[in-house]
Structures are given as structure tokens and as C-alpha cells.
Amino acid sequence: MFNFMLYEPIVDAGMQVLQAAGNVRLASGVDEAAIIREIADIDGVVIRSRGRMSRAILEQAPRLKVVGRHGVGVDNIDLDAATAYGVQVVNTPLAVIEAVAEHTVALMLAASKKIVRMHERLRQGDFEVRYRETGRELRGRPVGIIGFGNIGRRVAQICHLAFGMQILYCDVRRAPDLEAALGARQLPLDDLLAAADYVTVHAPLLPETRHLIGAREFALMRPETLFFNAARGEVVDERALYEALRDGRIAGAGIDVFAEEPTPPDNPLLKLDNIVLTPHAATATEESMRDMSLVALDVVRVLRGEPPAHPVNRLAG
């Protein structure tokens, strides 16, 4: 029987997999000190978005063989340290595609139709807001997708097939299949920013993508541009985003992720009325939560000496 640690609770589908293979313990906290106190006898960990798997923790985990990331992004796991200590990292790259893609398009619709602003005014008894606020259609407009992996490609499919939007994308790799199927065009980042009415980020957080979108990039966008981020908060310079929205250099935004999470109540983005905000909730669907919890399958596979379906790092031997 194996010992498992959860940083945060997961849904029953994943819990049942772990419980069938051993004992499951919920960490008393996700701060480094709490994890270090409790990890010495743990064989496998499931980590979500809160807390980190740091080198300091790995140094105190002699039995640890596998870390399962409940989701896709592994920026809260020290991959170099995990590899050095022989710890396999696995994730669920397919579990969130539909949830995040649909959420992104929902933000696009909400910002385009000014749904949140009208909702708030109507709740205050202001039915006449319908004469003061005018939305716009997505139909036929160019959307620029930064990061054309699984999620970016699904956003492209929805935008083109549902709304006839023109697909522009920026990625280190070409996507000839979607160029043929959707008429997608690969552009350098600066050209994409200047051409798109909608700009949406789906790039992972890496050293080279931190603040990928900042003041210079917002200056390249047009005043009618709407900007969206459901990737990672620190891919965007949040202060530069705030200033671009405040000064009307772009028309609006839809944001699901923040540089600091939970985002503090004094975050100036919360004071703007040309932005739609959600609390890192793009993956919070019944289907996605179930499928992310099933990272437990790979965690158990690794402990049983079987190859995982979705390895993140490559171990020696």
C-alpha cells in the first residue's frame, strides 16, 4: 500500500483511484513548511494550483517517487529538482482543453456584448442601459491566438466554425492542418497584435514568456482591441494591462488568471468597468475536474513501475 498526499481536495473519481491503492492524506496547509513537516513518508503527491513542489520539499521526501499535477501548468513544480531526485512528474494535458477554450470564448462574448455591465445596471433598476451600451458581433472578426497548443487550437476551431472569425496565430511551430482547415495564418507576435480585433493568450508560463505581453505589446494593439488571458497571470504585465484599459488604449479585456492568486482586493483591475473577471475558474467544470483528478491513474502507474500516460520530465534510465 502506498501513501499519498493531496495539497488540496480532488473529486471522487481521482480519490477512488488513490484510495484503492493506498492511504490518502490531505496536507494541513500548502505552505512549504507544512508540506515539509508531513511529506517524509509519502510515495506520491497530487498538487493543484496552490502551493509549490520546491527543491526544499523534495530534499525532505526520501520516499517520493511521483508528483501528479492536477491540470496542465507545471510552473509551481521545480522540474529540475524533481528530475535530479528521480521524481516523475505527470499532468493532465487533455483534461482542460474544452473547459478553457469554452471559457475563453465566453469571456469574448461577455466583453463584446457588455453583458456584465448591463447585468449590474439592470440589477440597480436601470433598464434604460440598453440605449447607452452597444455591443458588437464576433462574426468575421480577426482573432489573434498567442500559443497554438491544444487549447489555442480548440479556441481557433470554435471561433472560426461558430462565428466565421479569421484565425491568426503566433507559435514557434506551424499548424498546417488548421491552416488548411480553418484558413489560419501564422504571424510574428507584433504583426498579430496590430491586426487582431481579439487577442487571446494560451502560452505556458516559462522564463521566456514571463511578461510576454507588456506596455510595448499593448501599444501595438488598436483602440478597438479586446484582450483575453486564461493561461497564466504572469504571462501578462498586469500593471501595463491596467494602464492600457484605464487610458482607453484598448477597448476591454477578459481575465481569468492573475499575477498573485488569490488576487488582493486592492488590485486596480477590480475597479475598472471595461473588464470581465473570473477567479481562475476556466477549468472549473464537472467534466474537467473529473478528468484532472484522474492524474491519480498516472500517479499509481508510476508507483507500480508502469510507464505513465502523460510524463512531464524525463528521468535517467
The 10s digit of each residue's pLDDT in 273-306 is: 999 999 999 999 999 999 999 999 999 999 999 9
Whether residue 78 has pLDDT greater than 80: yes
Q: What pLDDT, on the 0 to 100 scale, is given for residue 152? A: 98
Determine, yes or no, domain membership for 315.
Answer: no
The answer to whether residues 143 and 235 belong to one domain is yes
Q: Are 119 and 196 in the same domain? A: yes
pLDDT (average), residues 158-185: 98
Q: The domain that contains 58 carries what CATH number?
A: 3.40.50.720
**Does residue 142 sit within a domain?**
yes
What's the number of domains the chain is made of? 2
Q: Does any domain span residue 227?
A: yes
Q: Is the dihedral of CA 24, 90, 258, 167 positive or negative?
A: negative
Residue 311 lies in a domain: no
Q: Is residue 85 over pLDDT 90?
A: yes
- For residues 267 and 155, membership in a common domain is answered with yes
Least Cα distance to 64 among 87, 81, 47, 84 occurs for 87
pLDDT averaged over every residue in the chain: 97
Question: Do 63 and 101 fall within a single domain?
Answer: no
101/241 same-domain check: yes
Rounded mean pLDDT, 158-177: 98
Please count the residues of the chain.
Answer: 317
Answer whether residue 53 shows pLDDT above 90: yes
Distances (CA, A) of 140 to 154, 246, 251: 17, 27, 18
Same domain, 79 and 106: no
How sure is the predictor about 312, in pLDDT bands with cuts at 50, 70 and 90? very high
Residues 40 and 58 both lie in one domain: yes
Residue 312 domain-assigned? no
Look at residue 91 in the predicted model and tell me its pLDDT.
Answer: 98
Mean pLDDT of 104-133: 97
CA–CA distance from 195 to each of 52, 121, 143, 185, 226 (Å)? Answer: 38, 33, 9, 11, 12
Side-chain half-sphere exposure of 290, counting CA atoms within 13 A = 4
pLDDT in tens, 136-147: 999 999 999 999
For residues 82 and 25, state if they share a domain. Answer: yes
Q: Are residues 160 and 269 located together in one domain of the fold?
A: yes
Q: Is the pLDDT of residue 317 over 80?
A: no
Active site amino acids: 232, 261, 280
Question: Are 108 and 90 members of one domain?
Answer: no
**pLDDT-derived band at 26, boundaries 50, 70, 90:** very high
State how far the Cα of 88 lies from the Cα of 303, in Å rounded to an integer: 10
164-188 mean pLDDT: 98
CA dist 189 and 170 (Å) reads 6
Question: Sorting pLDDT into bands at 50, 70 and 90, what band is 316?
Answer: confident
Terminal CA-to-CA distance of the chain, rounded, Å?
25
Single pTM value for the model: 0.94
In a domain? residue 317: no
Could you give the 3-state DSSP secondary structure of residue 277?
Answer: strand
- Does 310 reside within a domain? no
Q: Which pLDDT band holds residue 120 (cuts at 50, 70, 90)? A: very high
Q: Which domain holds residue 50?
A: 2-95+286-303
Please indicate, yes or no, whether residues 117 and 262 belong to a single structural domain of this protein.
Answer: yes
Average pLDDT over residues 26-37: 98
Task: Answer yes or no: is 267 within a domain.
Answer: yes
Predicted local distance difference test score (pLDDT) of residue 298: 98
- My answer on whether 260 and 131 are in the same domain is yes
pLDDT at position 173 over 90: yes
| pLDDT tens track for 230-246 | 999 999 999 999 999 99
Q: Is 157 exposed, middle or buried (0-12, 13-18, 19+ CB in 10 A)?
A: middle
